[in-house]
Amino acid sequence: MEERTLTKTTAFAVITLLCCLTLSINLQAQAGGDVAQKIKQLQQDSTNAQLKNDVSWMREHLADGYVQGNSWGAWSTKDETLKDMQNKTIKWKSGEISDVHVAAFGPNVAVSRYTFAYDAELNGTHRARTVLCSDTWINDSGRWKSAASHCSLVKGM
């Protein structure tokens, strides 16, 4: 009789463990979807802030140590990016992101990739082009910030 009770107890423990693992996997998958949606919205908000030279939004959402590689071959730090926005060295005529995809790496890191088509004057030089971009986002104590951004020119577009 004792062996039978032990077997029932073991079976119950295994079933309980499997249910907990299934719930944990499901919750992680849902959290990844939530992160992806949040980053997609932040990516659009970031583009809007960029086009409006909204320094306060960018200051709040660029991580310390942020670096940007642009499609004309230059690197910019957070301070340089904010200074350019304040000085309005980039005058935007238009800009639109499309084909936004997000890969979440747990609850605190995500990478977005997208296409950005723009028409602007950069330091007195007119540029109208389409670029492929990726941004790395980190959750910094509950606030999502961009840690790095890179765009490359799309040939023929």
DSSP assignment of 31-89 equals: HHHHHHHHHHHHHHHHHHHHHTT-HHHHHHHEEEEEEEE-TTS-EEEHHHHHHHHHHT-
pTM given for the model: 0.76
* pLDDT one-digit tens code per residue, 82-92: 999 999 888 99
Per-residue pLDDT band for 154 (boundaries 50, 70, 90) equals confident
**pLDDT: which is higher, 30 or 79:** 79
Query: Strand 90-104 relative to strand 109-122: parallel, antiparallel, unpaired?
Result: antiparallel
